Chains A and B, each alone.
Chain A
């Protein structure tokens, strides 16, 4: 297969996407120990230089309102990258990347998540489900997520999670800037 420009079709496609807006959003409660990792990472990312069209936001508020804000964004985001913390029974103290598919749970579960989100609970899965349900998210949604050791509270990250901060920043940078790479 010949690639005339030396750039893979995949990258060309991503370059096309870069013409669209990209959102990087931290999700979680602030000042909530390791549970705030997503917001701490997005704070760090917000202080960096980004290409035009890339925005970094603090999404530490109710999923319903985040979804409405995203739905009202014009032009809409072509790509969204969330950084969050969720216990999913994986090996703790590691970062995980996954792509959020288009599937939706049944309407009863969507409404159950609406109950929680409207009552002030901040949770990544609420945002993914509610955002998808109301068509507020683009097809391309990537999550960089921490599997926490245990629940902690306080105004600091625990030392092992603090140590993951540079890695998370690099992962998100790579996720976004890969589209600008001169060659594959």
Chain B
């Protein structure tokens, strides 16, 4: 029984149904947010301060963060995640040919367009009733494995790394810097840094060796990407039913070469992030509380078994569990489901604290999914997003993000969630390089230019915090490369058998009747779904739920904060500072950045019109 809060139970055969005897099963009571205590403290204590952070977007704006910090007791009393950017891609998609969604949704983001293209084509494959030939499936898997070789290292070395750099640590925690100078690394023979101080110096923004290498190492995966998929980051060859590309032995060889080149770098990264994590834990165990929150995580799974995926909703529980990343939900550290139907049934979005009107008066188009399972009026297939102009109020509305929830819980998405659900499920089909054990994932890597063959094991961590997010992301880079490597081998095998078709050869027409579809997929930052509804050959609704839709979400109507907010409120202030003026908030930055925040694709709107005139800046940045 995976649902504790939604009104769903299961019969003896495991079929989901609404609980009996409940008049309005999905109705809920909204709990007001009470700020009276915080307001009183702010008014009466000089050491309790409003502190605003711009963890991602200081300049052009997309995500801001407001906190109330008690500098004397060194804790965070209140936190608000604020999506300041307003987008309209879902509006544009209404009334269009569904195939436009691949290209339009791909332009949602300036760095991760490929994941949206594929999620969109998966949604269409379901709605159109088409599958993908094995070569197309394998090539799609390679594409996303390459995509993550840009996203994940850029995060670790260009975004998160500087928070652990010499220039930052020396300023925010001088005693830690002194300790780092005296602390010898444990794996210097592999990564080349003799002391932790040397490692921290390599993290220095713009000049550090690891920073510059992170930049440089985006090149091999982008080169491989361009060969098969078109220019990074907006691929041109993704189509429903596979890829409109031709593959040759030479192309596969060139792809494999670049995967191996990147793998050599990725292997070193695991040791670097193990080193940093251990150093902070040893220096002060309270670092385990930085960015900690409930072990509630979600992943839609990705990288389909090319021989199992059939694109149907009915088959999703089976083909989902054959993915290289097992879909699943972790609640309180326990895996509660790996079934894509359950995952879909549990999804809801709430807008009580966002700049949107509810859609409760518009009726409920879908009471069930195509398999007859109950879904909520707040499910993406039923969602109608209606922007409203409001002044910011911490009690009422303060963000363009919605509150995405699963089983009415605040839940976290990330590359690490993918490792966690896969490890805990232990369902990954046998393959050459990866193994899910129930408590870990083992990654067998071949010899590369500078390093021998190595076996890595990412273990489900005992504590969940900013350091474990970053460390897991370093393992995820190796993991996804090996998924890519395995799929290159599959592509070689298929080619040997003369199976070169990259896209379905089955002729299909865009259906004219009413259809729904969902693309269950993943981004470098985690969970991704595209839900579509179409009728008379055009889209009538299109909803995208990104990792940051979950992570950057505001409080929900039940009073639960979003994951960023929760993680920040649990973060102890370990920075060394003399007064409020010298306080930088580094612990809070580390907490938020560990999620790999990304905002351009998170906030979007659909209101049935084709053009929205809006004033996001005024709405999002107006006086409280």
Contacts and interface: CB of A to CB of B under 8 A. Distances in A.
Q: Answer whether A and B are interacting partners.
A: yes
B113 A61 contact: yes
A123 to B, nearest CB: 4
Interface stretch (B153-161, B391-399, B401-409, B511-519): B153-161
B611 A119 contact: no
A31 B110 contact: no
A33 B89 CA distance: 10
Nearest to A153: B88
A118 B159 contact: yes
Given A31-B89, A133-B206, A153-B86, A115 B58 contact: yes
Contacts of B111: 61-62, 64-65, 118-120
Given A61-B233, A121-B600, A116 B158 contact: no
B62 interface: yes
Nearest to B88: A153
Contacts of B107: 29-31, 60
Given A120-B109, A120-B110, 16 more contacts: A29-B110, A31-B88, A31-B89, A65-B111, A65-B233, A111-B205, A115-B159, A119-B63, A119-B599, A121-B60, A121-B599, A152-B614, A153-B92, A153-B605, A153-B611, A156-B611
Interface residues of B, number: 51
A134 to B, nearest CB: 8
A152 B610 CA distance: 11
A110 B392 CA distance: 30
A68 interface: yes
A126 B601 CA distance: 18
Contact of A151 (B63, B91, B617): B617
A111 B88 contact: no
Nearest to A31: B92
Interface in B77-119: 86-89, 91-92, 104, 107, 109-113
B164 to A, nearest CB: 14
Interface string B141-159: 0000000001000110011
B159 A119 contact: yes
A120 to B, nearest CB: 4
A142 interface: no
Given A62-B233, A107-B205, A107-B206, A154 B155 contact: no
Interface string A1-43: 0000000000000000000000000000111110000000000
A152 B159 contact: no
Interface string B262-291: 000000000000000000000000000000
A132 interface: no
A120 B599 contact: yes
B112 A120 contact: yes
A182 B56 CA distance: 50
Interface size class of A (residues with CB under 8 A): 35 or more
Contact of A125 (B59, B206, B612, B616): B59
B535 to A, nearest CB: 20
Contacts of A62: 110-111, 233
A133 B234 CA distance: 25
A40 to B, nearest CB: 13
B92 A126 contact: no
Interface in B567-614: 597-601, 605, 610-614
A111 B589 CA distance: 14
B57 A119 contact: yes
A112 B613 CA distance: 29
A110 B612 CA distance: 33
Contacts, number: 142
A117 interface: yes
Contacts of A33: 88, 611
A154 B611 CA distance: 5
B59 A123 contact: yes
Interface of B: 54-60, 62-63, 86-89, 91-92, 104, 107, 109-113, 150, 154-155, 158-159, 162, 205-206, 215, 218-219, 222, 232-234, 597-601, 605, 610-617
A58 to B, nearest CB: 8
A25 to B, nearest CB: 13
Contacts of A151: 86, 614-617
Contacts of B104: 30-31
28 contacts: A29-B107, A32-B88, A33-B88, A33-B611, A60-B110, A60-B234, A62-B111, A64-B111, A64-B154, A65-B110, A65-B218, A72-B219, A107-B205, A109-B59, A112-B54, A112-B59, A113-B59, A115-B57, A116-B62, A119-B56, A120-B601, A121-B57, A121-B599, A122-B600, A125-B60, A150-B615, A152-B611, A154-B92
Interface in A86-138: 107, 109-123, 125-126, 133-134
Given A115-B58, A121-B60, A126-B59, A68 B215 contact: yes
Contacts of B58: 112, 115-116
A123 B154 contact: no
Nearest to B596: A119
A155 interface: yes
A114 B158 contact: yes
Given A65-B232, A114-B205, A150 B613 contact: yes
Interface string A46-73: 0000000000000011111100100010
A138 B234 CA distance: 25
Nearest to B601: A120
Contacts of A112: 54, 58-59
Given A65-B222, A115-B159, A120-B112, A152 B613 contact: yes
B481 to A, nearest CB: 20
A45 B578 CA distance: 57
A63 B600 CA distance: 14
Nearest to A112: B58
A153 B60 contact: no
A60 B600 CA distance: 13
Contacts of B605: 153
Given A65-B233, A153-B88, A123 B206 contact: no
B348 to A, nearest CB: 25
A179 B601 CA distance: 41
A110 B59 CA distance: 10
B65 to A, nearest CB: 13
A134 B216 CA distance: 11
B611 A116 contact: no
Contact of B60 (A61, A126, A154): A126
Contacts of A118: 111, 154-155, 158-159
Residue of B154, B233, B598 most packed against chain A (CB within 10 A): B154
Closest 9 CB pairs of A and B: A153-B88, A154-B611, A62-B110, A120-B109, A30-B107, A122-B110, A123-B60, A111-B205, A155-B92
B60 A68 contact: no
A29 B111 CA distance: 11
A154 B598 CA distance: 22
A64 B216 CA distance: 11
Contacts of A107: 205-206
A39 to B, nearest CB: 9
Contacts of A116: 56-60, 62
Contact of B614 (A29, A133, A153): A153
A123 B111 CA distance: 13
B229 to A, nearest CB: 14
